[in-house]
Structure 1
């Protein structure tokens, strides 16, 4: 199988302005916090730790879903219209 990959001509603009990439980054940040927060459980007040864990657990898939939707939506800043 011979697959050829190429970048969009305006890939730099897409990297800077596309909402899908921003949502993916936020999802990754939340997922990373879910992994890191237990190491700081003893340093945080119990309620704060629980709230952060719940928020990150809820927001990570929400941001992923928003990234999928925003990937399909036409964005003026990226399309140049």
Structure 2
């Protein structure tokens, strides 16, 4: 496995990675705070649904051109 040449730029600017990080955070919250769902007034499994949506957004974002990363190359 070889990293892309501009991996630092991708790490800082890729929307797919941002969505993946958000999905990870939501999954961690879903695991760590199930007792607070009712106290917060959230429906059951709210964090799981949100993390699923973030994962889907990351999948789509991976295929959308992001000029700030590729410097106009597609």
Shorter-chain TM range is: 0.7 to 0.9
Contact 1:24–1:64 (Cα < 8 Å) also in 2:
yes
* Structure 1, unpaired ranges of 5+: none
Contact 2:37–2:43 (Cα < 8 Å) also in 1:
no
Residue 71 of structure 1: aligned partner: 62
* Structure 2, unpaired ranges of 5+: none
* TM-score (normalizing by structure 2): 0.84
Structure with the bigger percentage of helix: 1
Residue 3 of structure 2: aligned partner: 7
Higher Rg of the two aligned structures: 1
Residue 12 of structure 2: aligned partner: 16
Contact 1:23–1:67 (Cα < 8 Å) also in 2:
yes
The answer to whether structure 1 residue 36 and structure 2 residue 27 are counterparts is: no
Aligned residues: 72
* TM-score (normalizing by structure 1): 0.78
